[in-house]
A and B are shown apart, each in its own frame.
Chain A
Amino acid sequence: MSSQIPSFFSNDIVLHVEGIRKVYPNGVIANDNVTLSVFKGEIHAILGENGAGKTTLVNIIAGCIKPDAGEIYVNGKKVNIDNPRTATKLGIGVVHQHFILIPALTVIENIALSLDSGFKLDLNKVREKILQISSLLNLKIDLNARIEELPVGLRQRVEILRVLCQNANILILDEPTSVLTPIEVEEFFRILRNLKEKGCSIILITHKVKEALSISDRITIMRKGKVIKTLTPKETNEEELTLLIIGEKQNSEFISLTEGNNKNKEILLLVNNLNVKGDRGELSVKNVSFSLYSGEILGIAGVAGNGQKELIEALTGLRKPESGTIIIRGENVINKKPKSLIKKGMAYIPEDRIGRGVILTMSIAENAILKIFEENPFSNKTIMNRNSITDYTQKLMKKFGIIAPNPNIEVRALSGGNIQRLIIARELSYNAKILIAENPTAGLDVRATDFTHRMLLDLRSKGMGILLVSADLDELLKLSDRILVMYNGKIMKEFNRNEYDIYKIARLMLGIEV
């Protein structure tokens, strides 16, 4: 078979993968006989749901993961990409979903890191090279700024500049628009078209159908590790692509927001003129005021790093605010420790499930009672009661569908979805009235996302007040009764559900006054 392939190549094919297969140790078949070609100077979208195997494919081409089977051809030659360096040498540049930038170093230092040169660090040479490329593409950036000072959109620009400085002519971008606001996306597409004109080939990994249709020359659809079809935007449309992506349609999977119970609303949380400092001593939350009612989901929209983290930490007692008031049911709880806030009925589902949400090396039971171990019957404040803890956890596992042999299993043996269930189960264990959900579906698969969304809506209908802080605008639009837009530490505007306007919200997220 492989002997036929060279004849298959025209000069225009810069990258060709043939029969790629990858099975992970847990048995998941991430890539199954994946074959596709990329032409010179085209934008080729790879479209599929989360878990369709797109990122695995990228990592294989980038040399980060070894495939179990299959071949890769670059410019007609069979190559063995066993590490990222080889990929770079072959002219393959990858912009990963999570940037590989060092926050404390400057733009120029970050780019210099991945360029080969001698013992001495010649930053002037690096600067020349960057300026040459950036002026060609009309990309402006302050080379001496530290990465941590830059917004996400600009960080992505640094990543692109970096791979171009490495002389990449095949660019692979993994979900590049997921961190961008709609307005930044337009600017980003301009850059892509520019690159294409200069002869670069671009592989765009995305799960957004509209995006693929609007920018790409060809679209390859992946589902469950397999390539389903490759077509051009002209010969297809949104509905067809959607169908190809999901496979058999399942109507029952959709959820819609019912009108909340607007009567008998009670203010659960009242925040007034809150100011909070960030890690580096800068004011990250500026004069923020809002109120959260019972039975509503209040969304907070914003690009990551605009003060949401600090706001959440102030509300949960993890960070000391500078000034302002936080009133929970009539009592000012500013400067209270996490424990007294928990007692006041504040629950919190953190984004960082592994680092903050659970203790991996402790058992399911120990994690389940982590917030209530000083309550009866789990202890008498001093001495723990193991039996009642085990009984309780068994019931909890049944109720929330946490699958594990027994409650004494360490949490690190659980899947991501099960860990999320455990966290939700625990946060609902102490009759909290207020729930702060921080990017609750980040990194979860479709089923776990759906479970989480349903859970939030269920809690809303039971009268809980939910503060949903999310970087995913679609999620916010779907679930929230109201949306506050946060930019640069400030609340820019409040939208009621009937006023939602994705472009208006997006402009505000970028700090462009409307």
Chain B
Amino acid sequence: MSPRKFLRTVGFESGLLLIGIPVLLWTLIPIYHMFLFAISPKDAAFSGQLWPTSPTLRNFGTVVGQKHHFLNHFWLQMFNSVIISVGTAAITLFVATAAAFAISRLRMKGGRTVMNLALLTYFIPAAFLAVPMYKTMGMYGLLNNDWALVLAMATIASPYAIWILRQASDKLPVELDEAAMIDGASPFQLFRLIYLPLMVPSLIAVGTYALLLAWNEYLYAFLLLSKDTAITLPVALGNFLSADDSPWELLMTAGFLYALPPAAIYYAFRRYMSSGLTAGAVKG
């Protein structure tokens, strides 16, 4: 390699590093700060050190043992989060899979209208739909009921789910259906024996999407649920802010435990997510 070419390579590589290092710091600092609080003893957390002099797991013990009045229902709230996320994923999958089948495979009359209405719903900013949703859930008598949040989140997740599933379903060859029809299959058998098995990767993507959406949701959860025993974990974390002397190290510890499952699920299903969701998000 000529010295000149060598210098150019070095220059290019250090240029890449000059981008990469700030990106790394920018991405990790808020998360590292949260982790730092979680492993610091109470007084050391406020000293501004980059690594605590005596790291401890005591905060985790306090949170897991529910030994603070902010955390009396930690496990119950975690359980609520799990139930609501799984419920949302199940309902979204059921509703969206069936609708996408009707629109894409059965070529339903008016299917296009349904698709457009769903897309329109997708484009209503979530914070705007929250106000009407809150009033209506009150009328239905569902406030403070887990179902309110499950149904609200399924309403928000379904349009995008239908859209993604319809696109995936449109790619399946029509000949499959024709062959099955010749053999005398009913539309329901088509759905169960051909459509569902072939759609598994997209179903995983959509299910994960709905699950994470519900797990991460704060606004709807705090509007629709308020009882200490009914709320999900993010609402409980938000409630820490109501007092001036909040134990921030415990808030960060509980927040860390709350953030772990979605990160793990995301990385576990990244393959499906990136092919299914990012491609579908913008392809016209």
A and B associate: no
